[in-house]
A and B are shown apart, each in its own frame.
Chain A
Amino acid sequence: MLSPMPTARKSQARFLVGLLLTMHGFFVVPWLVANAPLEKTMGIVQKIFYFHVPCAWLLMLSTFVCAGGSLAYLFRGSERGDRLAQSSAELGVLFGLCVMVTGPLWARAAWGVFWTWDVRLTSSLLLWLMLIAYGLARRYGGAGGRRLAAAMALFAAADVPLVYLSVNLWRGLHPTTKTVSSLAPGMRLPFFFSLAIFSALWGVLLALRMRVERSQARLVELELAVEDAEGKSQ
């Protein structure tokens, strides 16, 4: 039986609000960032922080949302959970790519090297690799690919604290994690605004990606229904 296309007005309204907020943010965030005070030692280079940190936060969020969706799919058979997991994993790869581009750029300008085995850089890299592996499992995993990917997402979520701890202890470095709380007042507004806008963008992209997946699933249902009907009429 065909499932009706969801006509939830509430979700459409939420989507529109998110879209407007994101579009508005595209104008406001660059202006706020441009007017934020310059950091004493790094100067203008530090401005990449307003893009780098939100991307890293979304990489982390994507991993946990992917695990949540995978949990619902694996244990309840929720197709929506599966779509949520896939969409958030793809967004995680996308925002992870932003982290992997902006991180080394910042590192080169601030520390003189493109890469250092800093705990946050290394943890982000591993998290990103896990999400890429999730995509590989889904695409090439054959008949059990979706279940394999879901298990992979759960292992990845369990792995997040272990990776962070192990890399931190491995390097023997204890970088302060007070960067955000020690921000100058003038930098806080652009940072948190940027964080909110990036999160809204993530939400909008997630909703769009899930809609594409839902439409694809419905298309397959329709194709099967047409084949069924043709088979009966012959």
Chain B
Amino acid sequence: MARCSWISQAARIAWKDLHIEGRSREVLYTMGFLAALVVLVFSFAFISGQEGTVGPDAVAGILWVAVLFSGTVALSRTFDRERESEAICSLLLSPVPRSAIYAGKLAATAAVMLLVELLLVPLLAALFSAAIWPHALWLGLLLLLGTLGLCSVGVIFSAALLRARSRDALLGALLFPIVIPVLLAASRATAYLLDPAAPDLDPALFWTRFLAAIDVVFVVVGVWTFEPVVTGE
């Protein structure tokens, strides 16, 4: 049997998860619905008077809070399927590097989150008349980087919380303080991109680079800690 490369092993794990998700669409639907609700809740809370819209700062904040909240749902389910019948043991016993398992899980969770974000951004554009089209590709890159940053930490915590009773409540409590820099960089960059009155896009470029640097740090720490975290006591 031909030996699989690290990338193809990670891709197979991601494909397995996406395939199962594609059949049930459980996470996708609940996450998408929650993200849309978060946006609506913010609309009711922020919009007042006749004008009926909010500034780019608020739109960026709403987008990233919706991503964070709905992403927590996806992250809490990342290892849920492995919990049933102790499938995690089979996964860990398979001749695959642990880093490939981490990368596969990270890719699958990020893919589901990005799919929801793909629906979320046009919703924001429609509700708040946000100028998403002039820098659509850049915004897409920001969403990719921000999602990667959230997932790189979230996958580790989700794996470690596999057997905890209050894992759903704990995940958010542990994840949010750590990912504040991701949220800050992503929402700042998004606010500059969505602001038609911004004199130049240098700050957006700066925050995008900063976000990429945070991602590198988080992914390195994630790859490094995944093995000891999932290997039982």
* B153 and A155 contact, CB distance less than 8 A: yes
- Does B114 touch A at the CB level, under 8 Å? no
Choose the segment among B22-30, B32-40, B126-134, B170-178 that binds chain A (4+ C-beta atoms closer than 8 Å). Answer: B170-178
Summed over the interface, the residue pairs from A and B with CB atoms below 8 Å come to a total of: 105
* A162 and B164 contact, CB distance less than 8 A: no
Q: Residue-by-residue, is B53-96 near A (CB-CB < 8 Å gives 1, otherwise 0)?
A: 00000000000000000000000000000000000000000000
A157-179 residues with Cβ-Cβ distance < 8 A to B are 158-159, 162-163, 165-167, 169-170
Cβ of B218: which chain A residues have Cβ within 8 Å of it? 155, 158
Cβ of B214: which chain A residues have Cβ within 8 Å of it? 162, 166
* B174 and A144 contact, CB distance less than 8 A: no
- Complexed CA–CA distance, A147 and B184 (Å): 28
- Does A129 touch B at the CB level, under 8 Å? yes
Cβ of A152: which chain B residues have Cβ within 8 Å of it? 157, 174, 178
A142 CB contact (under 8 Å) in B157, B163, B225: B163
Cβ of A75: which chain B residues have Cβ within 8 Å of it? 228
- What is the chain B residue whose CB lies nearest that of A141? B164
- Does A83 touch B at the CB level, under 8 Å? no
Cβ of B153: which chain A residues have Cβ within 8 Å of it? 155
* B181 and A147 contact, CB distance less than 8 A: no
Given known A141-B170, A148-B157, contact A133–B177 (CB-CB < 8 A): yes
A123-151 residues with Cβ-Cβ distance < 8 A to B are 126, 129-130, 133, 136-137, 140-148, 150-151
* A74 and B163 contact, CB distance less than 8 A: no
- Does B166 touch A at the CB level, under 8 Å? yes
* A137 and B170 contact, CB distance less than 8 A: yes
B177 CB contact (under 8 Å) in A129, A147, A166, A169: A129
B168-199 residues with Cβ-Cβ distance < 8 A to A are 170, 173-174, 177-178, 180-181, 184-185, 188
* B181 and A136 contact, CB distance less than 8 A: no
* B233 and A143 contact, CB distance less than 8 A: yes
B139-172 residues with Cβ-Cβ distance < 8 A to A are 153, 156-157, 160-167, 170
**Residue in A133, A148, A158 whose Cβ sees the most chain B Cβ within 10 Å:** A148
Given known A140-B166, A142-B165, A166-B210, contact A130–B160 (CB-CB < 8 A): no
- Complexed CA–CA distance, A156 and B218 (Å): 10
* A162 and B160 contact, CB distance less than 8 A: no
Cβ of B181: which chain A residues have Cβ within 8 Å of it? 159, 162-163, 165-166
- Does A97 touch B at the CB level, under 8 Å? no
* A74 and B164 contact, CB distance less than 8 A: no
* A140 and B184 contact, CB distance less than 8 A: no
- Does B229 touch A at the CB level, under 8 Å? yes
- Does A154 touch B at the CB level, under 8 Å? yes
A179 CB, nearest partner CB in chain B, Å:
24
Cβ of B206: which chain A residues have Cβ within 8 Å of it? 169
* A151 and B156 contact, CB distance less than 8 A: yes
Cβ of B177: which chain A residues have Cβ within 8 Å of it? 126, 129-130, 133, 156
Cβ of A129: which chain B residues have Cβ within 8 Å of it? 177
Cβ of A140: which chain B residues have Cβ within 8 Å of it? 164-166, 170
- Complexed CA–CA distance, A159 and B180 (Å): 9
- What is the chain B residue whose CB lies nearest that of A153? B225
- What is the chain A residue whose CB lies nearest that of B183? A166
15 further contact pairs, Cβ within 8 A, besides A142-B164, A151-B225:
A130-B178, A133-B178, A136-B174, A137-B174, A140-B170, A141-B161, A141-B164, A144-B160, A144-B162, A144-B163, A144-B164, A154-B225, A156-B178, A159-B180, A166-B180
| 27 pairs of residues in contact across A and B, judged by CB atoms under 8 Å | A74-B225, A74-B229, A126-B177, A129-B177, A130-B178, A142-B163, A142-B164, A144-B162, A144-B164, A145-B160, A148-B157, A148-B160, A148-B164, A150-B229, A151-B225, A151-B228, A155-B153, A155-B225, A156-B178, A158-B217, A158-B218, A159-B180, A159-B181, A162-B217, A163-B180, A165-B181, A166-B185
User: Interface on A for B, CB 8 Å cutoff?
Assistant: 74-75, 126, 129-130, 133, 136-137, 140-148, 150-152, 154-156, 158-159, 162-163, 165-167, 169-170
